[in-house]
Amino acid sequence: MDQSQPNEQTPLFSPEVPYSNNVHTISSCSTKAPSSATPMPWSQIVPVCLLLIAEAASFSCIFPFITEFLTSINTPQDKIGLYGGIAEGSLMLIEASCAIFWAKLADRFGRKKCLILGFILPVCSTALVGFGKSAGWIIFWRAIAGFNPAQTVNRVIPAEISDPSNRARIYAITDPAFTNYPYALPCLTTTVLSITALLVNLIMLKESKPLEANTQPEEQQITRLADALKVPHYKTVLLVWSVYQFANMAICQGFYMVWGYTPVPSGGLGLSVENNGRLIAMAELAYVFTSPLMVPMIQKGLGAKRGLLLTTGIIPVEALGIPLVQWAATKGRKATYETLCLQYGMTTLHAYSLPIAHQFFVACFDDYPHLRATGMALSLIAGSAGKATGPAVGGWLYSYSTQFPAGSVGRQISWTVLFCLVLPAVILTSFIPKQLEKKAGSGHGGDEEEVEGLLHNHAE
């Protein structure tokens, strides 16, 4: 077995290794195109994907109806966007706070046991959200759902079961009647999905870290966190990732949620909860089914960095498109849906940033494989900071702008401020060093030859 690659003995918090002067890169993971790709480990990918889907459903199930939910329990109009954003983001805030805790438990008790037992509490709390009669109840149980190990542990497993020949493909696949409680059904449905995912993981998922593996003292674990931050270019990618997550959540899960439900005279789109939910579902499905094809194509045609610039660069364009959709809403439903199709098409394109960015994280640690899992845990914390604050900021901005008359400068505050907030995601992406796409002066050939090493299997 190649000892340089992570295996079942690799803890999340791993021992220090000497630093190398060379930095492996996304495009230089394999200078020569391999003759054949490593077979996809579907028996491990399937349960991991199911649990990621369940975790994503737990996170996003309230998005289509949170505005109407808060309205139905008599929340003040000027507080709906703020409380909605807090409810959406509180889960990620707690999840980020617990990332290191789950990493330690996964080292001590094993990935599989931590993943399955730790997901039980979020499953129950997701169901309880739907029975809320106050904003405090909704926010509290959403926060409890953040005690969830899935994001931390499931970021490590794909890195452990992949290699440069199949990494791009794996990451493209992986990033009743309730009269009194009408919002309980989607929450309970998500709970059933989560329980199903837990059972599949219990049966199919293999433990990748035996219990007999040694754990490290607390002081050494803290030292390794600092070591991970010293890996060349890692902090740059970490900053890009955090700002991107903030931009994505502010515009998609903060602004769009309140904007879609708000009546047209108040500057919204006047969509029903059902239609708002359908639009979100179609955008998500478009991403799920197209990313395994489109992400490798984008990387082959543009390279990883320019591909990331393209996909993050579309976010400011989305912000500039908001007033166009608002204007279309005043012209009728046909114009509204036509412009929304364009808007959500851009949303799908910018979502391709997720698997591309994950590959940059993996590339940062190609020379430091024993620190890779620690780096993944830190990336979850950084991304969750953006995901926790983005919905509250985006929702509050829109709610605040509705206090101004239609057509006034004040009414335009929401999308203009959003544009300024999401622009840094693009600017910071341009600062990702070239060393993460090619080895400077290493004599390994041109860009095309080096990029081919990563993308060979997707071009076949």
Q: 435 Cβ partners below 8 Å, 6+ apart? A: 23, 25, 232, 233
Residue 254 maps to a domain:
yes
Structure tokens at 258: 């309140």
Structure tokens at 120: 């039980």
Residue 18 maps to a domain:
no
Instruction: Report how far Cα 6 is from the mean position of its chain's Cα atoms.
Output: 23
Digits of tens for pLDDT over the chain (460 positions)? 444 554 544 554 444 444 344 444 444 443 344 446 677 778 877 887 777 777 777 777 787 778 778 888 888 877 887 788 788 778 878 887 888 788 778 777 877 888 888 888 888 888 888 888 888 999 999 889 888 887 777 777 776 777 666 666 766 666 643 434 445 546 666 667 677 777 777 777 777 655 554 445 554 555 677 888 888 888 888 888 888 888 888 888 778 877 887 888 877 888 876 777 777 778 877 887 888 888 888 888 888 888 888 988 898 999 899 889 888 988 888 888 888 888 888 988 888 888 888 878 878 877 887 777 778 778 878 887 777 788 878 888 888 888 888 778 888 888 898 898 888 888 888 888 877 765 322 333 333 333 333 333 333 3
* The pLDDT value given to residue 140: 92
* The pLDDT value given to residue 29: 41
Residue 450 maps to a domain:
yes
Contact 37, 170 (CB under 8 A): no
Q: What is the rounded CA–CA span in Å between residue 294 and residue 84?
A: 33
Alpha helices in 42-134 (DSSP H): 42-60, 66-72, 80-97, 99-109, 111-118, 120-129
Residue 246 maps to a domain:
yes
Q: How close are the terminal C-alpha atoms of the chain, in Å?
A: 28
**How many CA within 13 A on the CB side of residue 8?**
11
Residue 35 maps to a domain:
no
- For the chain, what is the total number of helices (H) and then of strands (E)? 20, 0
Q: What is the rounded CA–CA span in Å between residue 256 and residue 280?
A: 10
Q: What is the rounded CA–CA span in Å between residue 343 and residue 341?
A: 5
CATH number at residue 337: 1.20.1250.20
Structure tokens at 117: 């037992």
Residue 452 maps to a domain:
yes
- The total number of structural domains that make up the chain: 1
Residue 34 maps to a domain:
no
- Rounding to the nearest 10 degrees, give the CA dihedral for residues 435, 359, 457, 209: 120
Residue 24 maps to a domain:
no
**Containing structural domain, residue 230:** 42-208+216-459
Structure tokens at 14: 């791993």
Q: 430 Cβ partners below 8 Å, 6+ apart? A: 309
Model-level pTM greater than 0.75? Answer: no
- Collapse the DSSP code of 18 into the 3-class scheme (helix H, G, I; strand E, B; otherwise coil) and give the result: coil
- Collapse the DSSP code of 185 into the 3-class scheme (helix H, G, I; strand E, B; otherwise coil) and give the result: helix
